[in-house]
Amino acid sequence: MAIAFSRTPDGDIISDHHLIAEVLREALPYIDYLKGKILVIKLGGSTLEHQQIVLQDIIWLSALGAKPVLVHGGGPYINEWLKRLQIPTRFENGLRVTDAQTLEVVRMVLLGQVNQGLVLMASQMGGKAIGLCGTDAGLVRARVADERLGFVGEVEEVDPTLVQVLVEQGYIPIIAPLGQGPDGTCLNINADVVAAHLAGALNAEKLIFLSNVVGICRPDGSLISELTEEEALRLIDEGVIQGGMIPKVAACLDALRSVPRVHIVDGREPHVLLRELFTDKGAGTMIVRGARQPSA
């Protein structure tokens, strides 16, 4: 990671050893705090092209004593393959219908292309990664969300046993968002939702969404570094949070029932995980449980 040298008000470069000391002074309390803690990280399909730097950060987090678990999407790749194979896409009330043919492509892309690609890349960088999907060992059990949408699932239950065993053995689980239906069928599930439920089942310290937005912003475009779930709900009511951010923030709020802190950061930014987790300023938006306490 390149270090950008700071300058004094007079324009002189601050000595690099002072800069390194300052970086470590700021980071060490956070590193110590996260040792032994489970961090669930969701890598969105829109940010998969930046996966190498994300994986490097995750490997460093593991080396520093944290226990990262990665859940990934793959929407753009699925869309690309559906187009290549000339499989038509149908929608019901604006939601994609996943028929049997589409599900085959979803499984092929998520498991054969994205999941294994991430595992291989992490391994090449020295990470101890292992690929999973929600149908492994009953990890994610689901029901059909709506018959009109086909093989689209809603999470009913998460059994974190397999992930817990792997994490304790030092592995970095990389998980595709599929689930097992009641009759043994495979169901396609929104990756944000899988990540939120998994974080809760694992009693994770943090859930971090790597997205293609910097976080939650005020109407003037400035970033909100921290807010409570109460404030987030108010911003939805006021229309500040809108469009595609609403389901993502809803997943954050669901996760806050069992996860103390949820983060939304821009996965396109280099080393955004390290900046968000190990600096005072952070890099995105952190949503915390409960209401903000009035100042004395």
Residue among 284, 212, 166, 255 nearest 43 (CA): 212
- Phi, psi angles (nearest 5°) of residue 206: -145, 150
Residue 58 has a pLDDT of 95
For residue 156, what pLDDT is reported?
Answer: 93
Place of tokens 């990262």: 68
> Which of these is catalytic: 44, 73, 192, 254?
192
Instruction: Choose the catalytic residue: 75, 117, 138, 181.
Output: 75
42 catalytic residue (yes or no)? yes
Q: Which of 45, 73, 74, 179 is catalytic?
A: 45
Tell how strand 206-211 and strand 38-43 pair up: parallel
35 tagged catalytic: no
In 206-224, which positions are buried (b, 16+ CB within 10 angstroms) versus exposed (e)?
bbbbbbebbbbbeeeeeeb
Which residue positions in the chain have pLDDT lower than 70? 1-20, 46-47, 94, 290-296
Length of the chain in terms of residues written: 296
**Burial status of residue 199 (CB atoms within 10 A of its CB: 0-12, 13-18, 19 or more):** buried
For residue 106, give both structure tokens.
């979803």
- N- to C-terminal Cα distance for the chain? 41
**Annotation marks residue 75 as catalytic:** yes
Distance between CA atoms of residues 254 and 287, nearest Å = 11
DSSP secondary structure code for residue 85 in this structure: T
- Residues 205/38, Cβ–Cβ less than 8 Å: yes
Query: CB–CB of 55/127 below 8 Å?
Result: yes
Residue 99's pLDDT is: 92
Q: Which of 67, 74, 127, 248 is catalytic?
A: 248
Residue spans of alpha helices (H) in 5-97: 16-34, 51-63, 75-84
Q: What is the pLDDT of residue 3?
A: 47
User: Do 284 and 214 form a contact (C-beta atoms < 8 A)?
Assistant: yes
Taking Cα atoms as reference points, which of 147, 164, 172 lies closest to residue 201? Answer: 164
Distances in whole angstroms, Cα of residue 75 to Cα of each of 11, 105, 106, 111, 213: 47, 11, 9, 13, 16
Which pair of structure tokens corresponds to residue 190? 């929104």
Give the model's pLDDT for residue 130. 96
In this prediction, residue 34 carries a pLDDT of 86
- The yes-or-no answer on residue 192 being catalytic is yes
- For the record, the structure tokens of 288 come out as 């915390």
In whole angstroms, give the CA distance from residue 129 to residue 47: 19
**Helices then strands (H, E): number in the chain?**
10, 14
Are 78 and 108 a contacting pair, CB within 8 Å?
no
